Amino acid sequence: AMATPLLATPVAPAPAAATAERPNEKIERTTNADGSLSVKLTTTTPRPNGYREIKIEYFHVPQGAANAVGTALDAGDPPASLYMTKMEQQVLPPGTEEVIGRPPSR
């Protein structure tokens, strides 16, 4: 009898539905020889029509700010926009993989 309430509460499907249209962020960081940070933030945003919008932001964080920014990255926060050096955006049709930086297939 104790297991019945657990089965009756449909909690599992709800988060999946809620995150379907939410952007997915991937943060990659490299510490350079001079102590500065290079950060690449890839944001993939699903569109209702099956397309995906991909935004890649590149950041260069000077050595003096690297510790603070590194702590923020650990918490999942991207670097401040003042450190951004480059941004790329593209929209991928349904069923395609990310094609940024990949050599063309023959």
User: What is the rounded CA–CA span in Å between residue 85 and residue 12?
Assistant: 40
* pLDDT above 90 for 35: yes
The whole-model pTM stands at: 0.67
> What does the pLDDT look like over 89-102, one tens digit per residue?
999 988 776 555 55
Let me know: does 52 contact 46? Beta carbons within 8 Å.
yes
Q: Could you give the CA distance from residue 26 to residue 3 in angstroms, rounded to a whole number?
A: 38
More confident residue, 4 or 73: 73
Among 7-21, 65-79, 90-104, which stretch is predicted with the lowest mean pLDDT?
7-21
Q: H-helix or E-strand containing 59?
A: strand 52-61
Please answer whether residues 63 and 35 qualify as being in contact, where contact means their C-beta atoms are separated by less than 8 angstroms.
Answer: yes
Q: Is 16 in a helix, a strand, or coil?
A: helix
